[in-house]
Amino acid sequence: MQGNRRKGISLFAAVAVLCGLLLTAPGAAIGAGKPIVIGGSLPLTGEFAETGLWIERGMRYWAEEVNAKGGLLGRPVEFKIYDDQSNVGKAVTFAEKAITVDKVDLLFGGYPGTAARAVMAVAEKHRRVYVSMGGHMKSFQQGYTYSFGAPPLMGEWWYEGFFQWLNTVPADQRPKRAAVYTINNPVGLSLQDSINRWTKYLKIDVVINEKYNSPLTDATSLIVKAKQMNCDILFSNGFFPDGVTTVKAAKALDYNPKAIVQGIGSVVPAWVKELGKDGDYVFSGTVLHGMLNYPGNDKLNAYVKKRYKLPAYPLYFGFGYVWMQTLQQGVNGAKSLDQTKIRDWLKTHQVDTIAGPMTFDKYGLPAPINFATQIIDGKAELIFPKNIRTKEPVYPKPAWKK
């Protein structure tokens, strides 16, 4: 009887070992467990849909890549994505729903900065790691400990590269009089930080400094004023639709300053689709670009070229990917879905991303990042600093093509 019992135990142990080997062997069903659900909202319709859709595409490509390699912590990943319709209130509601009703395992970053800024407070309340663009500098100075910008879309940094380049232009060739038109929300207002500092330093007189409310349906009066006051540099501090409206008005009124500097929208593919050659020569900034020489960019560019027929991945495709890439490293580093462990790992380790290596300070921010861009022949080219330049800048702006 005792011998039979020992044989039974031995047989059970052998079966258990065999099962373990099958589960861990190469080619076994890794990633076949319960999915890790990553939730939140994006503006898939409404004012910011053009950008939100590219973020979603970058996130989904990341998920395809991760699942093809066995998943996250050996489990497949899937998204629970709500359409917040470009509404901040709905972004907050859906973040709460994802956490409290859907019980998602992780949160993903949102857009625009106004929505991300509001969701940061939700993430902190529920102690959920939130890797996103953030809501510009003030949002990161609220004392939140679970939010990270990896990288952030930091308005306070957005024109730094442009002004650093402009500082290399001989003083007698620089603009002398600036018109500054700013969307009246935290995103637009954050762009004024570098304008205020650098125009004083470069001795550029800001003769117009006005705010407008969204949506900007007609920029005619703004351009008329800038032209009448001989402003030879125009700052259009708004989103994609505002920038398009402003450029169309500038051409219609034959207002051709030495430089047009646009806030956020000129680096998305729809800029060229909407404006064609009229969208050329506009300056902006970025913290991420497909031509940066960091591991992974070539692979993303090849995918986007094949899938979307574009020469390089758009900025917001990259954002969707890199935010998830950062969260992935936090989860793998913590070896857990425990939010505090993920947070603590990210606070104390370097992440390596398509935007470069980053470590985070007490605010959840990396060291300041900004590269100057200019639309040249329909592409968002890197123009400064010189060591990453993909095209020589075109300055002053050529006359409009009739």
Residues 76 and 130 in one domain: yes
Question: Rounded distance, CA 321 to CA 120, Å?
Answer: 19
- pLDDT in the model for residue 20: 38
Residues 161 and 283 in one domain: yes
Residues 186 and 278 in one domain: yes
Q: What residue has token string 């990270």? A: 148
- pLDDT in the model for residue 186: 82
Span 277-327, pLDDT tens digits:
999 999 999 999 999 999 999 999 999 999 999 989 998 999 999 999 999
Return the CATH number at 102.
3.40.50.2300
Residues 203 and 101 in one domain: no
Residues 233 and 330 in one domain: no
208 closest CA partner among 239, 185, 177: 177
Residues 145 and 172 in one domain: no
- pLDDT in the model for residue 32: 63
Spans in the chain with pLDDT lower than 70: 1-32
Domain containing residue 245? 157-263+269-287+371-388
